Amino acid sequence: MRYLIYLSLFSVLACGRIKQEDTSEIRAEIERSMIKRVTEKDLMQEVSVWGEQAKKKWDADYRVECQQTYVFDDYTLEVYNKDLPVEGQGVKSQLIEAYSYGLQQGQPVGTNIQKLNDTLFIYSFPLSDKSYLKQVCKQDFAFVLLSSKKIISQIK
């Protein structure tokens, strides 16, 4: 009889801990998938923060194989040469053309945030003269393509 009481007591205690672990995982998943109220201002601030982080990384002596596009988990980086012709008619092409023209004319060109469509932002910036991409790869400016879905999921 004693053994039966101990056995039932241990089984109840064991089940309780498993439930607690499972509910904490479920709570975390629910918090991640909850709908968040994010204003346009919050979204633009976060795009600016992510863009500045990417700019710091790529303006430094960050050595990579020269290519047009670099894809990462959080963003995509596209680099351009000011002397190459622009193809296309979209917002992105117009932005490339504006940067190219400004750099060709020797005008000071700064960073810029542009909303490409409902799901994509572009943070654009000129590459500094000490940048590896500018010295070795002969690129003049870069676009950081940021997904609004990814940004919103990171906002707390």
At 6-58, the pLDDT tens digits run: 667 666 666 555 555 567 778 877 777 777 787 888 888 999 999 998 888 88
Please tell me the total number of residues recorded for the chain in this structure: 156
CA-derived radius of gyration, the chain = 25
Q: Which of 25, 45, 21, 24 is nearest to 156 (CA)?
A: 45
User: What confidence score (pLDDT) does residue 22 get?
Assistant: 67
Q: Give the residue with greater pLDDT, 122 vs 19.
A: 122
26 HSE (CA, 13 A, CB side): 6
The contacts of residue 27 (CB under 8 Å, 6+ apart) are none
Q: What is the mean pLDDT of the chain?
A: 82
What is the pTM for the complete model shown?
Answer: 0.72
Question: CA-to-CA distance for 85 and 68, rounded, in angstroms?
Answer: 14
